Amino acid sequence: MKDEALTRAIAAVPAGAWAVGVSGGADSVALLRLLSARNDLRLVVAHLNHQTRGEESDADLEFVRLLCRELTVGRYLALREEIEKAGAIYPNNPSAKYRHLRFELFRSVVEKEKLDGVILAHHADDQVETVLQRLLRGSGYSALAGIARLAAVGGLTVLRPLLDVRRESLRAWMRENEYPWREDASNESDAFQRNRVRTTTSRAVRFIRIASRTSACMCSTPVMGEREFANAEQRIHRRFAGRCPGDPGAAGGECVARGARIATRMLDRAVAERLIAMCTDAATPARQVFPGNLSVARRRGVITAQRGAT
């Protein structure tokens, strides 16, 4: 039996054509199986073999291939070496690099198949882990906004419908239906900070959910044109003052305001949306290179920019 949060999450996905990021793990497999039960969705699975775990990585890919065949959904199964571009600038951090490559695959699939966007399986526990990681790195108030449920990353629509669903709820549903999944042993290793902070509670999930909604007070300026960007800082602080806890000039508001000022000089809508995503979505890379060799960084809730990649 599905819990209410899981039922609501799947029902809230807009009808249409979507890519689904599937690693082979319990969370993404559960998401795909639940979505495939709806008859108003056209689904195309996107899986990237990172080629970091040898035969285990290859077995993940084969598992996803067979799953797609069982559910009769489209699939794009790619090797990391097929996505990497010679001479391209990637983040130094391996996790950030692989995330960047996954988004390159998602963007390619969405464009080729003319889809509405990509659906990812981030859940409530991922939300808490992301926020805790950012706080441990010294991020400011904006860290509490966490992962965005709906975001535009470089023109790619990203939907994360499971952010109110606990990890254990997904696994319980999988076990109840005797559905298999692949387990990545690196998820249990203390070598990764995300695994060390994986000690979440229901109270933490509720707290971050409230913080995310509060942050929306200052982050809801739409990406529409130069006039909106020109007035963004004033609008953000007007919404922020008296509605959200803390100083009206706190790091979160300053992050978005500075991002908006930078974006006024970038008239390309997709580029501007990618920048706004950096300001509002903790799951995006903290350092990116924009057109004109402009290096933009997010640190402790503040956006900075300088010419020349770093």
Please name each of the domains of the chain with its CATH number. Answer: 1-122+160-188 (3.40.50.620)
Q: Is the pLDDT score of 244 beyond 80?
A: no
CB-based contact 118:159 (threshold 8 Å): yes
Q: Is the pLDDT score of 221 beyond 50?
A: no
Indicate the pLDDT class of residue 2, thresholds 50, 70 and 90: low
Q: How many residues does the structure list for the chain? A: 310
Q: CA–CA separation, 89 vs 287, rounded Å?
A: 11
User: How much is the average pLDDT of 67-93?
Assistant: 89
Q: CA–CA separation, 103 vs 82, rounded Å?
A: 13
Strand order in the sheet with 74-79: 74-79, 41-49, 16-21, 118-119, 156-159, 150-153
Where is mean pLDDT largest: 96-110, 204-218, 248-262, 280-294? 96-110
pLDDT digit string (tens) for 110-155? 999 999 999 999 998 888 887 776 666 555 555 556 788 998 888 8
Angstrom distances, CA of residue 55 to CA of 15, 58, 220: 37, 5, 45
pLDDT at 250: 43
pLDDT at 262: 45
Question: HSE on the CB side for 239, CA within 13 Å?
Answer: 19
pLDDT at 178: 96
Q: Which residues pair with 75 in a beta bridge?
A: 45
Determine the angle formed by the axes of helices 167-176 and 4-11, rounding to 10 degrees.
90
pLDDT digit string (tens) for 63-75? 999 999 999 999 9
Indicate the burial class of 199 (C-beta count within 10 angstroms; 0-12, 13-18, 19 or more).
exposed
Q: CA–CA separation, 308 vs 310, rounded Å?
A: 6
Query: Hey, what amino acid is at 147?
Result: I
User: How much is the average pLDDT of 86-91?
Assistant: 78
pLDDT digit string (tens) for 14-34? 999 999 999 999 999 999 999
More confident residue, 276 or 209: 276
User: How much is the average pLDDT of 244-251?
Assistant: 40
Closest CA to 157 of 192, 213, 191, 114: 114
Average pLDDT, rounded, for the chain: 76
